[in-house]
Amino acid sequence: MSGLPESFAAIEGVEPARLELDGVSKSYGETTVLDRVSLTVARGEFVALVGPSGCGKSTLLKMVAGLEFPDAGHVRIAGTDVTDVRAADRDVAMVLQSYALYPHLTARQNLALPLVMRRLTGRQRLPFVGRFLPGTRAQLAAIGADVEKAGRALKIDHLLDRKPAAMSGGQRQRVALGRAMVRDPRLFLMDEPLSNLDASLRVHTRAEIVDLHKALGATTVYVTHDQEEALGMADRVAILHRGRLLQVASPEIVYRDPSRIEVASFIGSPSIGLIEAVIDDRGRAIVFDRPIAEGFAAQAGATVRVGIRPEHLRIGGHDDAILPARLDRTEFLGADALAHLRLPDGAPIVAKATPEIYRGFVPGPVGLAWNAADLLVFDAAGDRLRPRFDAATVTAERAHV
């Protein structure tokens, strides 16, 4: 949209770089922030790094940028080990979480800065004197042209002579984006670039960033705590939880086939319903004395957690019900509606459907039903338990591995 790809076609992209993180760990004193994280991002790929606040996303991204250094493990960019190379020498572009624009410089100067730093020598950058050294003028003119081009592409050309204080949050965000992309990065890092924007601007800018990535082709690592953003934008999603990388897969796989209970809970909104069950001697999961799923190899008596996505939960009469429940209330959300329910032990669970389906529902006793194939079951340690002999899941598993 918005003519972005066309404007960027003129900028000859640098070869996008492949990024490899190999067993990267980091602790601050006693607290382990990152625990043996390994991740490979292919050339030109868009990977979203997602996880709850404080799980170590920014720390990991800074490690890729060269602003933090790992205690153990290696970082390789385009095949070169850069573990101990500082940021200024890594040639990586990054949009910082708070944008970090230089408040005393105009947008134009902010955009020009990375180019000035890289294309001019130390002597050429001297105040007053530098201007008269051979080549400075030509370089500055080229930089000015590049800044104008980036400004037009991001539609901030009319803001170029303003200082950050005179801009809205959205405009600042674009300037920060511009400062990162103006130098044709081979690796593009973004730390929650949309988290300071209001909801409608966020959806709009999301699409623009995806277009930008398509046009530039740069390898991109995009950090967000918003799972919806990650699913919607990325080629692959990497889920970080308490410093450990739990799963890296396409948005569809992490949603449909999570490998850990934390992934299942974090991805999807409203989040997945979890019911505690016990495996009986025939491999069935038992809740409130009723079998709700079967075919598990787990030991009899083992506790498992059975996950049901809200859209897989059907509300019906008592006859075909797998579990009895109570409907507390329904919630109209426009295209969707939610039903807030309680299980016999009082635990809340949410169902989602189109509003027509819940029309006329009144609070009171109901029955819950689902397709066994839709259940996601996890053992006590949080690892995924897959029913034996289930052809569909086995295929999915193979595709994933």
Ligand X SMILES: Nc1ncnc2c1ncn2[C@@H]1O[C@H](COP(=O)(O)OP(=O)(O)O)[C@@H](O)[C@H]1O
The binder of 54, among ligand X, other proteins, Mg ion, none, by C-beta within 5 to 8 A per type, is ligand X
**In the complex, which residues of this chain contact ligand X (CB under 6 A)?**
28, 33, 51, 53-59
Label the pairing between strands 314-316 and 323-332.
unpaired
The span from the CA of 332 to the CA of 358, in Å, is 9
Nearer to ligand X, 57 or 314 (CB): 57
Q: Could you tell me which of 309, 204, 319 has the C-alpha nearest to residue 258?
A: 309
Interface characters, 142-171, with other proteins (x: CB under 8 A) = ---------------------xxx------
The binder of 319, among Mg ion, other proteins, ligand X, none, by C-beta within 5 to 8 A per type, is none
Q: Could you tell me which of 186, 355, 383, 232 has the C-alpha nearest to residue 296?
A: 383
Q: Could you tell me which of 13, 21, 102 has the C-alpha nearest to residue 61?
A: 21
Out of 102, 132, 288, 332, the only residue in the binding site for other proteins (CB under 8 A) is: 102
Nearer to other proteins, 179 or 384 (CB): 179
Label the pairing between strands 80-81 and 31-41.
unpaired
Nearer to ligand X, 58 or 259 (CB): 58
The binder of 33, among Mg ion, ligand X, other proteins, none, by C-beta within 5 to 8 A per type, is ligand X
The binder of 117, among Mg ion, other proteins, ligand X, none, by C-beta within 5 to 8 A per type, is other proteins
Q: Could you tell me which of 27, 39, 33, 20 has the C-alpha nearest to residue 245?
A: 39
Instruction: Tell me the residue nearest to Mg ion as measured from the CB.
Output: 58
Q: Tokens at residue 273, please?
A: 């319903």
Instruction: Tell me the residue nearest to ligand X as measured from the CB.
Output: 58
**According to the binding rule CB under 8 A, does residue 117 interact with other proteins?**
yes
Torsional class of 360: left (φ above 0), alpha (ψ -120 to 50), beta (otherwise) = left
**According to the binding rule CB under 5 A, does residue 224 interact with Mg ion?**
no
**According to the binding rule CB under 8 A, does residue 96 interact with other proteins?**
yes
Q: Nearest distance from residue 169's CB to ligand X, in Å?
A: 19
The binder of 87, among Mg ion, other proteins, ligand X, none, by C-beta within 5 to 8 A per type, is other proteins
Using only the alpha carbons of the chain, give its radius of gyration: 26
Nearer to ligand X, 34 or 293 (CB): 34
The span from the CA of 206 to the CA of 194, in Å, is 8
**According to the binding rule CB under 8 A, does residue 118 interact with other proteins?**
yes
Q: Tokens at residue 100, please?
A: 């970090």
Nearer to Mg ion, 146 or 192 (CB): 192
Interface characters, 19-58, with Mg ion (x: CB under 5 A) = ---------------------------------------x
Q: What is 33-68 written as a DSSP string?
A: EEEEEEEEE-TT-EEEEE-STTSSHHHHHHHHHTSS
**According to the binding rule CB under 8 A, does residue 92 interact with other proteins?**
yes
Q: Nearest distance from residue 246's CB to ligand X, in Å?
A: 14
Q: Nearest distance from residue 385's CB to other proteins, in Å?
A: 43
Nearer to other proteins, 223 or 245 (CB): 223
H helix count then E strand count, the chain: 11, 21
Name the amino acid, one letter, at 174: R
Q: Which parts of 119-138 interact with other proteins (CB under 8 A)?
A: 122
Q: Nearest distance from residue 29's CB to ligand X, in Å?
A: 7
Q: Nearest distance from residue 282's CB to other proteins, in Å?
A: 58
Contact predicate 176/100, CB 8 Å: yes
Q: Tokens at residue 395, please?
A: 């295929």
Contact predicate 230/48, CB 8 Å: yes
Q: Nearest distance from residue 62's CB to Mg ion, in Å?
A: 9
By residue count, the chain amounts to 401
Contact predicate 400/236, CB 8 Å: no
Query: DSSP strand E in 198-332: where?
Result: 219-224, 236-241, 244-249, 273-279, 285-287, 290-293, 303-308, 314-316, 323-332
Q: Nearest distance from residue 108's CB to other proteins, in Å?
A: 14
Which chain residues interact with Mg ion by CB under 5 A?
A: 58
Which chain residues interact with other proteins by CB under 8 A?
A: 62, 65-67, 86-89, 92-94, 96-98, 100-104, 113-114, 117-118, 122, 163-165, 179
